[in-house]
Chain A
């Protein structure tokens, strides 16, 4: 080992390079491969065509999430195409001996929620999944990123992918955050500063007091959305918060294995003096509750601000106008007071227990606005159970909300949970792309607190006004 200071990212990456190809990619070893029903069937088909087997079934975990309904999960899935994909996942998992959490399994839920909460995700791992929000797992000090179906096939066949090593970026946020400012606001703020392509080609380490003080749920929210600024992934050095979260989880190491792993995890941090290709510094005190006004996650502003007037020229100007036209908004509009038709709380970004606690903190003692349709969707059955055990369900019910069953739901609207064309939704999910939540749907991304404020007032509202 050399004494050159290295970054957290380098330490994990370099430990997983099986072979480096000159002027080419690294052959990169994968510790955990998560699969789901949408991006895996064609990969299994490819394996079969080539006559290959799954190399390490014990490093592969399957869950059904993208297509699953959020009501009546005990009944057969109505959409025949969705049912077909779900069946394919079950069949393929069975055939190759892969651990499978399908509908009805108490461990079932969104892949990026169930991995961490069951102790499958651990520091220093390399984790991939055919889903861009695999970056979520970086919250544990893992290198985790989304891959395409050809790469899913590669990992099934060889437990490796071929990747050029990305450049390194560090984003530091220090200082004290204000009341009502959540991890979702931190990440929406960073993306608004860097733009939706500002970190393309980079792997990001989030560092500084704000992340050190953040819960694991919050760190997952931040790393989840690192892909939304174009980054391959984001990561945060593991610390006592991380170790405490993992300890005792179902599949986490126990006894001697725990001690051995813990000793290793404690080495996973960026050395003083290590070099990054790019570095940013932000002040936590500058961050307000955020909301997006456009059609990519970089188009976000503090909730009390007005929509920026575009200073762009050429196709940049027309793309900006196209985006505002789609939303039915105008330059210099205030966001506060805009009518909201739908509220969605859930997804791999904000479908964890902390998010429902935050939502409940505002709706408690209030009533759902009459015209608002609210979809409250836990990220997993474990989260669903926590909601019940902690009395959050009672608060929701009294306020006029119903709890649905776990899944990706309206985040990408592959199931029946679609926002109708032209309607406005405040969503705690990760993407406000055109049609993302249903054809013609208009999405404003925000934190669970902003979602709660909108759900009880029926308009975009600053949650700080409703906090006790």
Chain B
């Protein structure tokens, strides 16, 4: 999927200081029945967000109008569990472009990068600073700078670097994906396959 290029994102953020948020919470299995990749945002965090009668749960952060923005800030070990890319689609479809946490599950991280969401892994200490800054002022702006690989709390100037491999960084900043790359090496793959055991 081609997606929008990602360079510098400056936005307010939505705080969700819960650990071990698994993909069954991000998008419950009963909403995985579509055969297209759009429309999942309505059911993002469905069971945390809505009561059984479809009324919004007042204490859930996505239903709190004082928080908004393109950045989701989450507790440690975000996105564990199922490999469903639908979780990343739901986050993207809802309008988030970046998730900040102190730890991501592997498959979720891969899925996010593949569809144009930037997972920014920061230290536990910096994550707490971000939560505190948003708690103090929900209008706190974060700047996520992919070319420089930094995240900054603009109000305080506190900043941290994050890791991303060069290849994925190039993809994100140019809006390319892996299939574009793999198509260009088709002959090499066919040659490899010809001598493979299975």
User: For residue B197, which residues in chain A have a CB less than 8 angstroms away from its CB?
Assistant: 31, 124, 261, 264
Q: How far is the CB of B140 from chain A (nearest CB, A)?
A: 18
Cβ 8 A contact of A435, one of B47, B77, B106, B110:
B47
Q: Across the interface, which residues of A come within 8 angstroms of B36, CB to CB?
A: 41-42, 45
* B interface residues, Cβ below 8 angstroms from A: 1, 17-20, 22, 24-25, 28-30, 32-37, 47, 52, 75-77, 80-86, 88, 103-107, 110-111, 114-115, 128, 165-168, 177-179, 181-183, 185-186, 188-189, 192-193, 196-198
Distance in angstroms between the alpha carbons of A38 and B89 in the assembled complex:
14
Is A272 an interface residue, CB under 8 A from the partner?
A: no
Within 8 A of B (CB), among A72-103: 79, 81-82, 84-85, 88
CB-CB under 8 A from B189, the residues of chain A are 18, 27, 29, 55, 158-160
Docked-complex contact A319 and B33, CB < 8 angstroms: no
Given contacts A84-B35, A434-B25, 14 further A-B contacts (CB under 8 A): A24-B166, A39-B84, A82-B33, A147-B110, A157-B182, A162-B178, A164-B165, A166-B106, A232-B106, A315-B17, A318-B17, A433-B22, A433-B25, A434-B47
Contact A45 to B82, CB < 8 A, known contacts A32-B198, A315-B17, A414-B30: no
**B114 to A: closest C-beta gap in Å:** 4
A166 surroundings in chain B (CB, below 8 A) = 106
Determine if B24 and A431 form an interchain contact, defined as CB atoms under 8 angstroms apart.
yes
The answer, yes or no, to whether A180 is at the interface (CB within 8 Å) is no
Q: Does A161 contact B (CB under 8 A)?
A: yes
Contacting residue for B106 out of A52, A157, A201, A261, CB 8 A: A201
B183 to chain A, nearest CB (A): 7
- Asked whether B182 lies within 8 Å of A122 as measured between CB atoms, the reply is no
Contact across chains for B182 and A67 when beta carbons are under 8 A apart: no
Chain A residues within 8 Å of chain B by Cβ, number: 82
Between-chain CB contacts (< 8 Å), 20 pairs: A18-B185, A31-B196, A42-B36, A45-B36, A66-B29, A85-B33, A124-B197, A131-B82, A148-B85, A148-B111, A151-B114, A157-B179, A158-B189, A162-B167, A196-B80, A197-B103, A296-B22, A315-B18, A431-B81, A435-B47
Interface presence of A208 (CB below 8 A): no
CB distance from B168 to the nearest CB of A (A): 7
In the assembly, what is the distance between CA of A84 and CA of B198, in Å? 33
In the bound complex, CA of A21 to CA of B33 (Å): 36
Kindly supply a per-residue 1/0 record for chain A positions 11-49, scoring 1 wherever the CB is within 8 Å of any chain B CB and 0 otherwise: 000001011011111010101100000110110011000
Q: Nearest chain-A residue to B34 (Cβ)?
A: A81
Q: How far is the CA of A166 from the CA of B166 in the complex (A)?
A: 17
| Contact pick for B178, options A42, A56, A154, CB 8 Å | A154
CB contact between B24 and one of A19, A56, A200, A434 (< 8 Å): that residue = A434
Asked if A439 is at the interface of the complex by the 8 Å CB criterion, the answer is: yes
Q: In the bound complex, how far is the Cα of B105 from the Cα of A132, in angstroms?
A: 11
In the complex, how many angstroms separate the beta carbon of A189 from the nearest chain B beta carbon? 19
Q: Does A149 contact B (CB under 8 A)?
A: yes
- Bitwise interface map of A from 428 to 468 toward B, beta carbon under 8 Å scored 1, else 0: 00010111100110000000000000000000000000000
Interface string of A105-145 (1 = CB under 8 A from B): 00000000000000000101100001110100000000000
Chain A residues with Cβ below 8 Å from B179 are 46, 50, 52, 150, 153-154, 157-158
Chain B, residue nearest A42 (CB)? B37
